[in-house]
């Protein structure tokens, strides 16, 4: 079900009934899974509201009274997925994500017994955002850290709760660092050692933020604490060039996986912690950050409908490839199909899918061999890195399996060249490749503070090969100082740009014969299908006022025409 809350079968049937009433007459022909899979969060929220008899409000955080929430325990609110919004004249406005959960009633009876309660139903993500806005970071002060003894304090951490107050300053430093990162929807935390600075910073929407300094004398203490979280021996840090691990942070009752990577640097070490927090994302094709244009989405659905073959997603690190492929897996996820994934690490668990974690490269071949004997219908391989992984992915597709994977190339057509470079014969690529895709993530303008601008300047038009019509077009740019809504960045969130090259039998025949180069093949497909490229999709978002030229030029090479 495309919602953050799980319901029992009786309630699920009520919600389905309301969804069918909201849908067109054609919904009668669809099965329950298809109805739920295609329903947007807003439509599903409306069905839940209708089934429970409560008003549905998709956005409530702006209504919340900060003083009212300050007196509530955020962990209690998060576990029950509810929050009080306003209290006045003996009345309380209460937002709930699950109208049938008893915990909201218990809370209001205990704390607002003399109030008349008015409930509204909202999204669980909206509840989380409201609670997060009302909480303040409680990290140790600079003075407390400076006063900390270098060789003191315990490091035995079992269940790391980043939202409770820790007595030990190093524990509290890490807790506030991680909770701040989760609250800001950061993708990574970087901890770096330079000649005269020891600091950390957050990567939000693809950009590293300002440096937050830590006293240099705490460098080894912090290092030992983090290694202990992963159950890695601190004494190994000088012996091994790189150390990898993973731990789980508890954030207001929910678990957030954190992938840890540490390597030596000239002045000490560099740590990168990747936050695997999917609660603020909506990994569904055609929805949220994956709202592709209709033609691209249709071709993607056609490729997914092919019973066997390989779909390859390309793009640089951090371009959202795994998120899009996970959305594809959700589309393919059926009770009658056996779906196996091989990832390093597992980032997003999907109910009904068997996820396997690849611990090191030596496990790849035996794991794939085991997969092939496990009666799979769909196989997801995290990444094709070398000849062996490429051969095994192609072999799985040749033997009648549907394979999804990623590879690193700038353009979709270069996927063909990359497989050839890895030693795969062209006829095998032509026989198995069903769709070659390339993706980028572009920053979205904060709609609260974006500023209008009068078209594109003459120099930029020449530099980026833009038609003269862009000179007079009304566009928008980010506000450099930003606002409170976007945290002073001018941007708020990112969206995926996707280009797809469908490989039909006729296209595959031309590819196998070598009649066209991969680039010529790309041009021929675009001419025949009118499918947009990454550049086309980026310029469309620019024209719609969703992004600006500065954000586009960071992720796309706009200096050439395709």
Can you give the CATH number for the domain in which 527 is found?
3.40.50.300
- Residue 281 has what pLDDT? 57
What is the residue-level pLDDT of the chain in tens, covering all 562 positions? Answer: 445 556 677 887 888 888 888 765 554 556 666 676 667 778 888 888 888 889 989 888 888 888 888 888 887 888 788 999 988 888 999 999 888 888 888 888 888 888 899 999 998 878 888 887 776 555 566 666 666 655 554 444 456 888 888 888 888 899 999 999 988 889 899 999 998 899 999 998 888 989 999 999 899 899 989 988 888 877 777 777 788 888 888 887 778 888 899 998 888 899 999 998 766 555 677 776 777 888 898 999 999 999 899 999 998 888 888 888 888 988 888 888 899 988 877 777 788 888 887 776 677 778 877 887 788 889 998 888 888 888 888 988 988 889 999 998 888 989 999 999 999 998 999 889 999 999 999 999 999 899 999 888 889 888 888 888 898 888 999 999 888 888 888 998 888 899 999 998 888 888 888 878 888 888 888 888 889 999 999 999 999 999 999 999 999 988 876 6
Decide: 63 and 26 in contact? Cβ < 8 Å: no
249 in the same domain as 307? no
Tally of CB atoms within 10 A around 421:
12
271 in the same domain as 183? yes
Tell me, yes or no, if the pTM score tops 0.75.
no
In a domain, 349, yes or no: yes
Tally of CB atoms within 10 A around 415:
26
238 in the same domain as 308? no
198 in the same domain as 112? no
424 in the same domain as 375? yes
Cα 278-331-542 angle, rounded to 5 deg: 65
| CA distance linking residue 243 with residue 345, whole number of Å | 14
In a domain, 372, yes or no: yes
Closest CA to 160 of 247, 260, 220: 247
Both tokens assigned to 416? 């063909």
In a domain, 283, yes or no: no
Q: Name the region of 206 (left: φ>0; alpha: ψ -120 to 50; beta: rest).
A: left
In a domain, 374, yes or no: yes
Give me Rg for the CA atoms of the chain: 26
Closest CA to 314 of 385, 368, 371, 259: 385
219 in the same domain as 87? no
165 in the same domain as 120? no
266 in the same domain as 232? yes
Decide: 134 and 64 in contact? Cβ < 8 Å: yes
Please write down the long-range contacts of 332-336, taking CB distance under 8 Å and 24 or more positions apart: 332/304, 332/378, 332/402, 334/33
| CA distance linking residue 424 with residue 412, whole number of Å | 17
548 in the same domain as 513? yes
- Residue 2 has what pLDDT? 45
318 in the same domain as 249? no
Residue 180 belongs to what domain range? Answer: 153-276
Decide: 339 and 377 in contact? Cβ < 8 Å: yes
3-state SS string over 412-436? CCHHHHHHHHCCCCHHHHHHHEEEE
In a domain, 424, yes or no: yes
- Which among 276, 310, 337 is the end of a domain? 276
| CA distance linking residue 82 with residue 103, whole number of Å | 8
Q: Which residues pair with 343 in a beta bridge?
A: 357
- Which among 276, 300, 321 is the end of a domain? 276
| CATH code of the domain covering residue 97 | 3.30.300.160
Q: Which residues pair with 73 in a beta bridge?
A: none
Tally of CB atoms within 10 A around 24:
7
Both tokens assigned to 276? 């695997």
Decide: 57 and 79 in contact? Cβ < 8 Å: no
| CATH code of the domain covering residue 164 | 3.30.450.90
In a domain, 498, yes or no: yes
Enumerate residues 6+ apart whose C-beta is below 8 A from 77. 69, 83, 107, 127, 131, 252
How buried is 429 (Cβ within 10 angstroms: 0-12 exposed, 13-18 middle, 19+ buried)?
A: buried
| CA distance linking residue 73 with residue 250, whole number of Å | 15
> For the chain, first and last CA: distance in Å?
41
Decide: 53 and 59 in contact? Cβ < 8 Å: no
Cα 104-63-136 angle, rounded to 5 deg: 80
242 in the same domain as 162? yes
Tally of CB atoms within 10 A around 344:
18
In a domain, 1, yes or no: no
Domains contained in the chain, number: 3
Closest CA to 202 of 183, 224, 216, 219: 183
- Which among 241, 276, 311 is the end of a domain? 276
531 in the same domain as 443? yes
In a domain, 281, yes or no: no
């Amino acid at each position: 079900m495309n919602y953050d809350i799980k319901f029992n079968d009786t309630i699920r049937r009520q919600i389905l009934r309301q969804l069918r009433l909201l849908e067109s007459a054609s919904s009668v022909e669809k099965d329950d899974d298809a109805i739920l899979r295609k329903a947007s969060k807003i439509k599903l929220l409306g069905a839940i509201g209708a089934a429970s008899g409560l008003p549905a409000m998709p956005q409530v955080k702006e209504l919340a009274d900060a003083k009212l929430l300050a007196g509530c325990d955020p962990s209690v609110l998060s576990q029950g997925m509810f929050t009080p919004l306003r209290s006045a004249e003996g009345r309380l406005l209460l937002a709930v994500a699950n109208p049938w959960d008893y915990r909201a009633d218990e809370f209001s009876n205990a704390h607002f017994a003399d109030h008349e309660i008015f409930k509204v139903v909202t999204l669980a993500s909206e509840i989380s955002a409201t609670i997060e806005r009302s909480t303040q970071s409680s990290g140790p002060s600079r003075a407390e850290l400076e006063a900390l003894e270098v060789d003191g304090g315990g490091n035995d951490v079992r269940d790391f709760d980043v939202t409770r107050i820790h007595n030990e300053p190093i524990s509290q430093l890490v807790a506030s660092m991680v909770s701040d990162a989760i609250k800001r929807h950061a993708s990574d935390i970087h901890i770096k050692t330079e000649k005269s600075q020891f600091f950390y910073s957050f990567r939000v929407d693809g950009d590293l933020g300002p440096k937050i300094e830590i006293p240099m004398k705490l460098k080894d203490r912090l290092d030992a604490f983090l290694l202990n979280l992963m159950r890695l021996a601190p004494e190994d840090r000088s012996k091994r060039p790189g150390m990898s691990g993973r731990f789980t942070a508890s954030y207001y009752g929910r678990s957030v996986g954190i992938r840890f990577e540490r390597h030596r640097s000239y002045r000490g070490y560099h740590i990168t912690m990747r936050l695997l927090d999917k609660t603020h994302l909506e990994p569904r094709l055609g929805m949220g950050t994956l709202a592709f244009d209709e033609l691209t989405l249709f071709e993607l659905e056609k490729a997914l409908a092919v019973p066997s073959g390989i779909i390859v997603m390309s793009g640089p690190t951090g371009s959202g490839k795994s998120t899009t492929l996970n959305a594809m897996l959700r589309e393919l996820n059926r009770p009658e199909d056996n779906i196996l994934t091989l990832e390093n690490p597992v980032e997003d668990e999907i109910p009904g899918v068997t996820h396997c974690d690849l611990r090191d490269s030596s496990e790849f071949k035996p794991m794939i061999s085991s997969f092939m004997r496990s009666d799979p219908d769909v196989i997801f391989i995290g990444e094709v890195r070398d000849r062996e992984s490429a051969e095994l992915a192609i072999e799985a597709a040749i033997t009648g399996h549907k394979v999804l994977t990623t590879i690193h190339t700038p353009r979709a057509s270069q996927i063909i060249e990359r497989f050839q470079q890895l030693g795969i014969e062209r006829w095998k690529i032509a026989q198995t490749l069903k769709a070659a895709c390339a993706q980028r993530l572009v920053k979205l303008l904060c709609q609260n503070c974006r500023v209008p601008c009068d078209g594109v300047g003459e120099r930029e038009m020449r530099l980026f090969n833009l038609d003269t019509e862009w000179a007079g077009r009304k566009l928008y740019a980010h506000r450099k100082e930003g606002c409170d809504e976007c945290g002073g960045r001018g941007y708020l969130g990112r969206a995926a740009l996707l280009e797809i090259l469908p490989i039909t039998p006729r296209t595959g025949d031309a590819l196998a014969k070598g009649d066209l180069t991969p680039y010529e093949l790309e041009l021929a497909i675009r001419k025949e299908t009118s499918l947009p490229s990454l550049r086309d999709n980026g310029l469309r978002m620019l024209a719609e006022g969703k992004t600006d030229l500065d954000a586009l030029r960071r992720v796309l090479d706009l200096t050439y025409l395709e």
